[in-house]
Chain A
Amino acid sequence: MADTAPTQTLRREAITELPPIAVRSWNPSDGWLAFLFTLPTMLLLIFVGVFPLIWSLYLSFTRFSAAKPNIAPEWVGATNYAKVMTDPSIWSVFVFTAKYVVIAVGVEFLLGFGIALLLNRAFPGRGLITTLMLLPMMLSPALAASFWKLIYEPQWGVSNFYIKKLGFAPIDWLANQHITIYALALVDIWQWTPFMLLISLAGLSAVPRYLYEAAEVDQASAWFKFRHVTLPMVWPLLLIALIFRTMDAIRVFEYPYIMIADQQATQTIATLLYRIAFRSWDTGLSTAFAYIVLVMIIAMTNLYIRYLTRATVR
């Protein structure tokens, strides 16, 4: 803890170039510790992952329906993949999902971090207020979707009651296919901004106080402190949170499925995948589609990770 740290020689120097993180002390017994620490994780992931991986990858090259397991899979090579790439309606699904992700995750990020900054100070009831703000995330997405559908309902929903009171025509949030994307994104934002808030707060809490104090001694402005102390330390964590939130947003399922099931213009990747896998039971096509989506997500996270490595290696 703080008191046992042997280094009391704190020199208040200006923030200079920091040595690269790659240099670490290496204790050889660490080799086995490293192996041991990583082992349970890897075992679990491989154990659960191997069979589904082989099963689904193999089937993506076949024509097969899991609803008719008595008919053996028929090898068709890359036909399923070709079908996915050339189907025009699938392209619109990708576009819709991409728009959704950009809107939802973008707002969540800004809002979550912004509120975290507001909460990053001592005030009475801080713990309680923070926990309260995390409530939306604690609700199951399916329940959130159902109740928001109730809130959105033009004829008996709270939202439209007040909209009508203000003199406007009721907003058909879900059936009007131009507004649907915003209606869905709003639910996502409501539920997952607390996630960004949570991670941002934890990250902000981990910024050492002495850095702020050092900056204040140098009469730094609030903006300077934010730009040069807070942001660099919190940014890597925000980026990780962003990666996970983006991956989850791309796979959003409950909101469209429960609120606007099957509407033509507002299908997301996950609802389409679900329909191919569990309505048409076209297992070959659904697995091929899933792998194409996987490749896209891998490409995107690679970009994120590159930013991340650049942010951490200062």
Chain B
Amino acid sequence: MYDSTTTRVVRGVLIGIGIAAALIFFLFPIYWIVLASFKTKLEVSSPTPLHLFQFTPNLDNYAVVLGLKKQGPMAAGSPGDFMGRLVNSIIIAGASTFLSVLFGTLTAYAMARFRIPGKSDILFYILSSRMLPPVVIIIPIFIMFTALGLAQSYVGLTIMYTVINIPFVVWMMKGFFDEIPHEYEDAAMLDGYPRVQAFFKVTLPNAWPGIAATAVFCVIVAWNEYVFAFILNSKAAVSTVPTFIAANFQGTAGINWGPIAAMATLFVLPVFIFTFLVRNHLLRGVTFGAVRR
């Protein structure tokens, strides 16, 4: 009602162009990888790039990855155990995301609402666990986990991923809780609700964008994590997909582009689906009533 139609149309077109440009930039390499999963090895590294209708797609790579077809002896490795690894990845990433979001959110809430002695020190300590490059702690972690029987198990790696993700959840959720006026809970508590119920009734619904965003990121981190998975869970029964992809990467003929692309495509799907499912929580526009501070 304040902008003329022309302005709005022009703005709409410009925004549309912007979004389209961003989509092209982000999706082109993805498109390239998905395409590669339907190509033969020679087609993938063809000097003339082969786009969507310039080659005959085939499902060989997927068949190989899923164990439905054996590769010739010259192509190394025998993917085929992919699904088992995928299940492992789902279990470990799912459990660690759940735990890190749960513990992290609780801690963040406490940090945002309560008076805690040494709060900023504690927060900084939590942040600092994200600061060391993993290479330094790989060996002591491996020694420690092997001694405690946590290596080669779901539990050990889940603990590791939870620990890796908690700092992000704590800081992010604290930021979100800081933005949610505490007056809501106070009002609810004045009405007689205990703190915990006030949290569920009032605060949590407003915190969903934050929780969804952090959950998505935690899933991605745990899903793609390689270094600890490689060292701690090297046995096939408990190993995750990233190590599997790395092990099948190099073939005798060169890099196994086709099967790797197929694995990458299959591996991205669950995360994509998860994000798609929570998109509404991610993007909700908040229209709740007012409390003026």
Instruction: Check whether chain A touches chain B (CB < 8 angstroms).
Output: yes
Q: Mark B177-189, 1 if CB is under 8 A from A, else 0.
A: 0111011111111
9 closest residue pairs by CB, A with B: A140-B224, A2-B288, A202-B213, A37-B110, A127-B279, A52-B140, A34-B114, A37-B106, A55-B140
Interface residues of B in 1-56 (CB under 8 A from A): 2, 15, 18-19, 22-23, 25-27, 29-30, 32-33, 36, 44-49
CB distance from B142 to the nearest CB of A (A): 10
Whether A158 and B171, one on each chain, are in contact in the complex, defined by CB atoms closer than 8 angstroms, is: no
Whether A49 and B129, one on each chain, are in contact in the complex, defined by CB atoms closer than 8 angstroms, is: yes
Could you say which of A79-87, A176-184, A290-298 contacts chain B?
A290-298
CB distance from B187 to the nearest CB of A (A): 5
Whether B292 and A10, one on each chain, are in contact in the complex, defined by CB atoms closer than 8 angstroms, is: yes
Could you say which of B57-65, B76-84, B162-170 contacts chain A?
B162-170
Whether A201 and B22, one on each chain, are in contact in the complex, defined by CB atoms closer than 8 angstroms, is: no
Whether B116 and A298, one on each chain, are in contact in the complex, defined by CB atoms closer than 8 angstroms, is: no
Complex Cα gap A161–B103 (Å): 50
Whether A240 and B23, one on each chain, are in contact in the complex, defined by CB atoms closer than 8 angstroms, is: no
Whether A138 and B268, one on each chain, are in contact in the complex, defined by CB atoms closer than 8 angstroms, is: yes
| B143 contact set on A, CB distance < 8 A | 51, 55
Whether B106 and A10, one on each chain, are in contact in the complex, defined by CB atoms closer than 8 angstroms, is: no
CB distance from A311 to the nearest CB of B (A): 10
Q: Mark A1-36, 1 if CB is under 8 A from B, else 0.
A: 111111110110100001101001111011101100
The one of B107, B191, B206 in contact with A6, judged by C-beta atoms closer than 8 angstroms, is B191
Whether B172 and A237, one on each chain, are in contact in the complex, defined by CB atoms closer than 8 angstroms, is: yes
Complex Cα gap A140–B227 (Å): 12
Complex Cα gap A210–B292 (Å): 10
- Which of B128, B257, B268, B289 counts the most A-chain CB atoms under 10 A from its CB? B289
Complex Cα gap A235–B260 (Å): 40
- Indicate whether B127 reaches chain A with its CB closer than 8 angstroms: yes
Complex Cα gap A61–B22 (Å): 49
Whether B29 and A136, one on each chain, are in contact in the complex, defined by CB atoms closer than 8 angstroms, is: yes
Whether B27 and A132, one on each chain, are in contact in the complex, defined by CB atoms closer than 8 angstroms, is: yes
Whether A147 and B23, one on each chain, are in contact in the complex, defined by CB atoms closer than 8 angstroms, is: no
- Indicate whether A243 reaches chain B with its CB closer than 8 angstroms: yes
- Indicate whether B285 reaches chain A with its CB closer than 8 angstroms: yes
Do A146 and B288 contact each other (CB < 8 Å), given the known contacts A37-B106, A286-B136?
Answer: no
Complex Cα gap A120–B23 (Å): 15
Interface residues of A in 202-232 (CB under 8 A from B): 202-203, 205-210, 216, 219
Whether B276 and A206, one on each chain, are in contact in the complex, defined by CB atoms closer than 8 angstroms, is: no
CB distance from A49 to the nearest CB of B (A): 6
Whether B283 and A127, one on each chain, are in contact in the complex, defined by CB atoms closer than 8 angstroms, is: yes
- Indicate whether B155 reaches chain A with its CB closer than 8 angstroms: no
Whether A142 and B186, one on each chain, are in contact in the complex, defined by CB atoms closer than 8 angstroms, is: no
Whether A244 and B130, one on each chain, are in contact in the complex, defined by CB atoms closer than 8 angstroms, is: yes
Q: Mark B106-119, 1 if CB is under 8 A from A, else 0.
A: 11011101111000
Whether A41 and B264, one on each chain, are in contact in the complex, defined by CB atoms closer than 8 angstroms, is: no
| B239 contact set on A, CB distance < 8 A | none
Do A202 and B26 contact each other (CB < 8 Å), given the known contacts A52-B144, A131-B276, A195-B217?
Answer: no
Whether B103 and A44, one on each chain, are in contact in the complex, defined by CB atoms closer than 8 angstroms, is: yes
Whether A202 and B212, one on each chain, are in contact in the complex, defined by CB atoms closer than 8 angstroms, is: yes
Whether A25 and B25, one on each chain, are in contact in the complex, defined by CB atoms closer than 8 angstroms, is: no
Whether A135 and B284, one on each chain, are in contact in the complex, defined by CB atoms closer than 8 angstroms, is: no
Whether B268 and A135, one on each chain, are in contact in the complex, defined by CB atoms closer than 8 angstroms, is: yes
CB distance from A103 to the nearest CB of B (A): 16
| B282 contact set on A, CB distance < 8 A | 130, 198, 201-202, 205
Complex Cα gap A137–B280 (Å): 19
CB distance from A231 to the nearest CB of B (A): 13
- Indicate whether A263 reaches chain B with its CB closer than 8 angstroms: no
Q: Mark B227-253, 1 if CB is under 8 A from A, else 0.
A: 000000000000000100110010000
Whether B132 and A146, one on each chain, are in contact in the complex, defined by CB atoms closer than 8 angstroms, is: no
Do A190 and B283 contact each other (CB < 8 Å), given the known contacts A131-B276, A199-B172, A236-B178?
Answer: no
Whether A290 and B49, one on each chain, are in contact in the complex, defined by CB atoms closer than 8 angstroms, is: no
- Indicate whether B68 reaches chain A with its CB closer than 8 angstroms: no
Identity of the chain B residue whose Cβ is nearest the Cβ of A221 in the assembled complex: B2
CB distance from B285 to the nearest CB of A (A): 6
Q: A38-B111, A137-B220, A290-B135 are in contact. List 7 more A-B contacts (CB 8 A).
A: A38-B122, A45-B125, A66-B139, A135-B30, A161-B49, A198-B217, A198-B282
- Indicate whether B176 reaches chain A with its CB closer than 8 angstroms: yes
- Indicate whether A269 reaches chain B with its CB closer than 8 angstroms: yes
Do A237 and B176 contact each other (CB < 8 Å), given the known contacts A30-B113, A37-B106, A37-B110?
Answer: yes
Whether A37 and B19, one on each chain, are in contact in the complex, defined by CB atoms closer than 8 angstroms, is: no
Do A206 and B206 contact each other (CB < 8 Å), given the known contacts A34-B110, A190-B26?
Answer: yes
Question: Would you give 8 A-B contacts (Cβ < 8 Å), ordered by A?
Answer: A2-B288, A24-B115, A45-B166, A190-B26, A194-B26, A202-B176, A209-B287, A294-B131
- Indicate whether A92 reaches chain B with its CB closer than 8 angstroms: no
- Which of B125, B135, B143, B276 counts the most A-chain CB atoms under 10 A from its CB? B135
